[in-house]
Amino acid sequence: MDYKYFMPTQVECGIGTSTRTGEYLAASRVRKVLLVTDAGIIKANMLENMIESLEAQGITPDIYDKVEPNPSAESIMNGLSFLNEAGADSVVAVGGGSSIDTAKGIAIMARNTGNILDYEGVGKIPNPGLPLIAIPTTAGTGSEVTPSTIVTNRATSFKAAVISPYLYPKLAILDPSLTLKLPQPITAATGMDALTHAIESYTSKGASPLSQAFALSAIKMIAHNIEKAYFSGTDLHSREQMLVASMMAGAAFAQSRLGNVHAISHTMGGIFNIAHGIANASLLPYVMKFNSPACLERMADIAEALGCDTAGGSVQEAAEMAIEKVIRLNQRLQIPSNIKDLGVELDQLEKMVEDSMRSGNVLINPRLTIARDIRHIIECAYSGSFDL
């Protein structure tokens, strides 16, 4: 098997690591930082210790808190203008995937010309951007260790993927204490987002032994901890395990890419402005069902990692167990069992099919997929049918 592995992001993990942000930056001779975040983080007073840490090292912070869900090119370019006015020489993202993706766009556009949408696709960015540190406050996207950012084109309602090794953050700081205040719906959606990343990475045609090791470990960790994180909320161990699992799933799909869940969910997010994690969670069991004939052995591995008792059964039975486990998890976490309840409308079906087929994730989905298949998956996920 031929494969490559490249993950240049340094990872610092531990309770309170975010309070040492200034120490991590000081070695890079940074003088002025742009903190990219959202209004919720500001309201929760989550930046105070980080700002104190920066100022203790003589680093001046400015705050850009206009991050929006499903970040648009406009919000990224507005952030770039803010960065230029502030004269920042580095970027720190604090928040969920939207904050990190926005920060990636701002950091890379600081050293490249035009609009972020000009670089849609793989390997099109000519120059490295400003140094970027990512501090996730949700256990979901894994964006802190990936070479991609997802940008919404408002004119076309299409979520474009920009992928380049220059988009890897220099440092990811995993501080589980930052996730303790997450509301239950966000814990559920982001946790299932991470599980989707791990499952799609494990079954991807682009998977390697290294990416699969990360992915399978992430599946096990999520299966063991997601419900405790959801129902307890303040259990620090389960929160830490979910944060690490999210990072590992990100490290996995950074190498392997993903599959049909993401091809379709990005489309749904662009057209209907549906939160990415919840879209993935609702779609996941339907795509697993569709993909099963092409990857039964890998589905059986996933079933075991999810904690299913597969002893004595066939690989087909194990694959069905994996799908049922995901369905039950969604139910336990109060995630809609169909995409109709998310606000998807079938009058946009043809655009959803067309936009989904633009995604490179379709090409590495384990089961060969054409437009007719995408249409059928969407229709089944809308009606709640598993006739796939």
For residues 182-192, average pLDDT: 95
Q: Which two tokens stand for residue 247?
A: 């990072």
pLDDT of res. 366: 98
Strands 171-174 and 10-13: parallel
Q: Give pTM, 2 decimals.
A: 0.95
Q: Residue-wise over 175-186: b if at least 16 C-beta within 10 A, else e?
A: bbbbbeebeeeb
Q: Which residues make Cβ contacts (< 8 Å) with residue 358, sequence separation at least 6? A: 158
Per-residue model confidence as pLDDT tens digits over 260-271:
999 999 999 999
Model confidence at 304: pLDDT above 90: yes
- 204 vs 24, 272, 321, 368, CA distance in Å? 35, 27, 20, 11
Give the sheet arrangement for strand 132-136, strand by strand: 10-13, 171-174, 132-136, 90-95, 32-36, 60-64
Each residue's pLDDT tens digit, 34-63:
999 999 999 999 999 999 999 999 999 999
Task: Enter the tokens of residue 225.
Answer: 């901890």
Distance CA 368, CA 20 (A): 47
Mean pLDDT, the chain, whole residue set: 95
Query: What is the architecture, at CATH level 2, of domain 10-179?
Result: 3-Layer(aba) Sandwich (3.40)
Indicate the class that CATH gives domain 184-383. Answer: mainly alpha
pLDDT at 320: 97
CA angle 202, 207, 211 (to 5 degrees): 75
Number of neighbouring beta carbons within 10 Å of residue 347: 6
**3-state secondary structure at position 3:** coil
Domain boundaries, the chain: 10-179, 184-383
